[in-house]
């Protein structure tokens, strides 16, 4: 029976402390008894002339008795230790509950001493300090009052549940510590292997229940609740987690993962909720058990610190368990016709749990799966989903693990960075893009075998790639630019591998939007690549660091090809375009009021970059597979969003824009109309020269800049007209070069 609020608030926990002290005293007495017995009985037994069977029997019995004295001392001390820990932990949890009650009262509420139900106390000091008008205003919204009462009530209930879970765990441990499992002395005597760590006994019981479930047996409602309570109450405890996994083993861990997914898929109602909660706790238990000290960037595999840790007890457990998972991961837990390999349900469980996992663990797990694929010479084919696969189980475990990494950017970066620190150099990213055959589905009928495209293929990889290259979770709006070298290496390798693989211009569907966000995040770099006005970006292909920060460059042809791949998604490409326009606007806001080289260069760079975008856009419009007006409308909508201004990390190429002069909501209505008109053009070399909407926007930027600096665009100010003319020339060159990279026949 679960503890109640009244139980907790009225229980005198000092009895636990007293009991702990008495058990400790009892253990000490057993120790003294053993000493006395050894000296006065066993010690004199062999000093006489007694020999024969009687002596042998007495000696054997004396050994048994001596052992039981020893076991009794150990068992009593273990119980004392547990009771002492229970007193300290429950006291702390009860104090937290008492503090919550005090906080509720300070907030103007009262707590029922029996049920713990919280209601408003209109006589409380908080309300007494209010004016009658303020009180009436509060009472006019009874829904808000009721919601506040419910929130406080639930907070107290949650704390009581936490106490109940802890209390249950100690009960389980105390019941098990007194069971004779040492195999010595009297059968059913004292436990000579008793330990004072309750988490170990809770883990043993949880392991029994987990094994039973993994073996295909159903747990009773009581057992299911017990299993969930044990896992939930200890999922953050390292001793419990490692004892539990060690006892369960990798093989049973996989079977338990598979069973939980099957039950979660089949059941409904409260049972389904229990199963899903159990799966979450299981994943978090794995997370705790597989923690490795130090970030992977600072303590990489292969480093002396990492090797030294592997020689500790924790390190040996980790290595042993991961090696077991390597074997279980490639074991078939299904049938020959519908195979389910261990990595599949295990990886599914990790993702379903929503837990955060150690970056070392994810790195090794992902690497082990890749190694398994290579050893099988399947390069991904082994994960083919036959006839819909196993209920609730993801067919591609590598993509699932990558999906988990997508929520942990540093883990994703470490895994995909081709030039990491000591022990981290790898070909993971190259393998994923250039070599791997991404698994699909197969329907095996009576007479036919039909391949089925997996709509989720590479979705996890896409999220991991974005997180790794940008340093933040997928889709998150952050300041653009300002990357670390390892993040920039991921972005660079991705572009180069897509080009080498020949699918840069035809990206897989699930990779278009993420690659678009990556390129958007690297706008300070892509701006320089497309403008072709910076010596470093013209001559270097890779990642380098200068006195300002990290830079990334690829050949313009490669960048244009990957831009074209993204452009199959008009929204993603429109977002990239908007970032380029905002970056150019920031540069314009810092242009000096003179006729110097900086002003002319800024205009020309923006024009060349926007020209490249227009060249890519022309290639899309000239492609017969699109409904061109729809594509153009979707692009315009994404490119014209002005509700949120984009921020960039300042670089030596563009200082941070002054807010007083920054044009955030600059949108060219005329340019949008031009793009709609251009969508109707036929694919001819002459018509390609009509894609000038981007230049229209640069012209607008020049005019806006001129107005802010006292210039009068038109015949009265030849300088401004010269800027516009220089920009138009560069725009044409940028557009033409981009289009030729994509359509050499138009050269």
Q: Looking at the 3D structure of the chain, how many domains does it have?
A: 3
CATH number at residue 184: 1.20.1270
Domain ranges, residue 42:
5-196
Lowest-confidence region among 201-210, 579-588, 654-663: 654-663
* Range of lowest pLDDT (11-20, 435-444, 595-604, 643-652): 643-652
- List the one residue out of 571, 473, 471, 575 whose CA is nearest residue 519: 575
Residue 502 and residue 442 share a domain: no
pLDDT at 643: 47
Calpha distance 668→414 (Å, rounded): 42
Residues 575 and 431 reside in one and the same domain = no
Q: Is 405 exposed, middle or buried (0-12, 13-18, 19+ CB in 10 A)?
A: buried
Classify burial at 15, counting beta carbons within 10 Å of its beta carbon; exposed 0-12, middle 13-18, buried 19 or more: exposed
Residue 272 lies in a domain: no
pLDDT tens for each residue of 109-145: 999 999 999 999 998 888 888 888 888 888 888 899 9
Residues 528, 418 share a domain: no
pTM: 0.85
Q: Is residue 243 part of a domain?
A: no
Do 317 and 392 belong to one domain? yes
Q: Is residue 259 part of a domain?
A: no
Residue 115 located in a structural domain = yes
- Other C-beta atoms lying within 10 Å of the C-beta of residue 124: 16
Please state which of the ranges 77-86, 109-118, 374-383 shows the lowest mean pLDDT.
Answer: 374-383
pLDDT in tens, 635-688: 988 988 754 567 888 776 665 555 434 443 444 667 777 787 777 777 677 777
Q: Do 16 and 122 reside in the same domain of the chain?
A: yes
448/541 same-domain check: no
Strand order in the sheet with 385-386: 385-386, 441-444, 449-452
Which of 432, 454, 470 marks a domain boundary? 470
The answer to whether position 229 is within a domain reads no
My answer on whether 523 and 578 are in the same domain is yes
Same domain, 602 and 721: yes
Integer angstrom CA distances of residue 614 from 461, 619, 671, 689? 30, 9, 11, 10
Q: Is the CB of residue 388 less than 8 Å from the CB of residue 441?
A: yes
CA distance 432 to 457: 12
- Domain boundary among the residues 196, 212, 238 is at 196
- Whether residues 447 and 555 share a domain: the answer is no
Confirm whether 210 is domain-assigned.
no
- In terms of domains, do 521 and 656 share one? yes
Tokens 């180069």 belong to 496
Tokens of 437: 């055959």
- Please answer whether residues 280 and 352 qualify as being in contact, where contact means their C-beta atoms are separated by less than 8 angstroms: yes
Same domain, 552 and 614: yes
In a domain, 271, yes or no: no
Residue 716 has pLDDT above 70, yes or no: no
Flag whether 134 is in a domain: yes
- Are 521 and 451 contained in the same domain? no
User: Which of 166, 196, 226 is the last residue in one of the domains?
Assistant: 196
Q: How confident is the model at residue 386 (pLDDT cuts 50, 70, 90)?
A: confident
């Amino acid at each position: 029976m679960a503890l109640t609020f009244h139980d907790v608030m009225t229980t005198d926990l000092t009895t636990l402390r007293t009991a702990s002290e008495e058990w400790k005293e009892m253990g000490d007495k057993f120790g003294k008894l053993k000493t006395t017995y050894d000296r006065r009985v066993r010690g004199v037994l062999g000093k006489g002339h007694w020999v024969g069977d009687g002596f042998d029997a007495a000696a054997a019995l004396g050994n048994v008795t001596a052992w039981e004295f020893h076991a009794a001392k150990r068992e009593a001390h273990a119980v004392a230790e547990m009771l002492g820990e229970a007193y300290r932990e429950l006291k702390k949890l009860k104090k937290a509950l008492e503090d919550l009650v005090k906080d509720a009262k300070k907030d103007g509420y009262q707590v029922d001493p029996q049920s713990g139900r919280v209601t408003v106390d209109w006589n409380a000091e908080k309300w007494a300090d209010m004016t009658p008008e303020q009180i009436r205003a509060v009472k006019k919204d009874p829904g808000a009052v009721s919601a506040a009462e419910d929130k406080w009530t639930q907070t107290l209930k949650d704390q009581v549940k936490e106490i109940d879970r802890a209390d249950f765990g100690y009960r389980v441990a105390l019941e098990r510590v007194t069971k004779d499992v040492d195999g010595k002395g009297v059968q059913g005597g004292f436990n000579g292997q008793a330990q004072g760590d309750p988490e170990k006994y809770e883990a043993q019981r949880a392991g029994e229940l987990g094994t039973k479930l993994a073996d295909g047996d159903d747990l009773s409602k009581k057992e299911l609740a017990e299993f969930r309570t044990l896992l939930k109450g200890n999922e953050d405890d390292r001793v419990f987690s490692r004892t539990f996994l060690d006892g369960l083993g990798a093989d049973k861990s996989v079977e338990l993962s598979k069973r939980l997914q099957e039950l979660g898929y089949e059941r409904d109602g409260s049972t389904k909720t229990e199963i899903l909660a159990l799966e979450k706790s299981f994943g978090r238990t794995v997370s705790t058990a597989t923690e490795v000290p130090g970030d992977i960037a600072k303590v990489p595999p292969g480093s002396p610190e990492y090797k030294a840790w592997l020689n500790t007890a924790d390190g040996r457990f980790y290595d042993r368990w991961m090696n077991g998972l390597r074997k279980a991961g490639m074991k078939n837990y299904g049938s020959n016709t519908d195979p389910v390999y261990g990595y599949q349900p295990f990886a599914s469980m990790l993702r379903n749990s929503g837990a955060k996992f150690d970056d070392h663990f994810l790195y090794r797990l992902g690497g082990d799966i890749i190694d398994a694929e290579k050893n099988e010479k399947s390069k991904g084919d082994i994960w083919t989903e036959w006839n819909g696969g196993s209920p609730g189980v993801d067919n591609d475990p590598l993509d699932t693990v990558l999906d988990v990494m997508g929520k942990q950017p540093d883990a994703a970066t470490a895994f995909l960075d081709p030039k990491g620190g000591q022990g981290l150099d790898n070909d993971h990213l190259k393998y994923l893009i250039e070599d791997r055959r991404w698994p699909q589905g197969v329907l095996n009928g009576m007479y036919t075998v039909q391949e089925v495209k997996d709509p989720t293929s590479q979705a996890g990889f896409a999220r991991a790639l974005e997180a790794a290259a940008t340093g933040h979770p997928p889709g998150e709006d952050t300041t653009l630019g300002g990357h670390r070298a390892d993040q920039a290496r991921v972005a660079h390798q991705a572009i180069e591998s897509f080009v080498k693989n020949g699918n840069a211009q035809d990206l897989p569907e699930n990779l278009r939007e993420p690659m678009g966000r990556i390129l958007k995040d690297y706008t300070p770099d892509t701006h320089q690549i497309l403008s072709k006005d910076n010596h470093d970006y013209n001559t270097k292909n890779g990642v380098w660091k200068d006195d300002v920060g990290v830079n990334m460059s690829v050949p313009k042809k490669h960048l244009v090809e990957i831009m074209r791949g993204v452009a199959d998604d008009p929204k993603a490409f429109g977002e990239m375009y908007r970032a380029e326009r905002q970056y150019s606007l920031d540069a314009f806001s810092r242009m000096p009021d003179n006729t110097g080289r900086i002003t002319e260069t800024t205009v020309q760079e923006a024009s060349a970059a926007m020209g490249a975008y227009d060249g890519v856009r022309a290639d899309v419009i000239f492609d017969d597979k699109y409904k061109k007006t729809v594509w153009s409308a979707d692009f315009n909508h994404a490119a014209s969003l002005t509700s949120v201004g984009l921020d960039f990390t300042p670089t030596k190429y563009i200082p941070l824009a002054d807010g007083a002069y920054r044009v955030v909501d600059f949108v060219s209505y005329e340019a949008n109309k031009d793009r709609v008109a251009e969508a109707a053009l036929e694919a001819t070399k002459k018509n390609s020269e009509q894609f000038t909407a981007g230049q229209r926007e640069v012209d607008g930027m020049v005019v806006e800049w001129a107005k802010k600096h006292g210039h009068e665009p038109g015949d009265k100010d030849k300088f401004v007209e010269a800027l516009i003319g220089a920009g138009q020339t560069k725009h044409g060159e940028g557009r033409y070069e981009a289009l030729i990279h994509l359509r050499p026949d138009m050269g």
